[in-house]
């Protein structure tokens, strides 16, 4: 269960960024009636890359802390739980 929560925490900044930028671009496209595919893809890709740069250190730190916790639990699990 903790792994699923960690995956959700790590994915949230990138998914929320893509959602907000995608919504803004869709709104802009519907207002201006421009239906260009690259207009929706490129800004989302750039925004997700920026979010990854901004949140990357935190994401790695969370993943490492989780991994350390899992390795610390190995002796307890091997001794019979």
- Compute the distance between CA of residue 45 and CA of residue 53 in angstroms, rounded to an integer: 12
CA distances from 23 to 1, 5, 18, 26, 73 (A): 31, 26, 8, 5, 42
Q: pLDDT tens, 33-53?
A: 888 877 888 999 999 999 999
Domain boundaries, the chain: 2-78
Query: DSSP secondary-structure letter at 36?
Result: -
Q: Give the separation between CA 19 and CA 46, rounded to whole angstroms.
A: 13
The string of pLDDT tens digits covering residues 51-79 is 999 999 999 999 999 999 999 999 998 98
Tokens at 2, concatenated: 């903790």
């Amino acid at each position: 269960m903790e792994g699923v929560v960690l995956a959700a925490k790590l994915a949230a900044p990138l998914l929320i960024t893509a959602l907000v930028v995608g919504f803004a671009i869709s709104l802009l496209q519907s207002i201006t009636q421009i239906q260009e595919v690259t207009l929706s893809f490129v800004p989302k890709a750039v925004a997700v890359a920026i979010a990854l740069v901004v949140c990357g250190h935190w994401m790695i730190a969370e993943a490492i802390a989780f991994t350390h916790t899992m390795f610390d639990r190995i002796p307890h699990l091997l001794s019979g739980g």
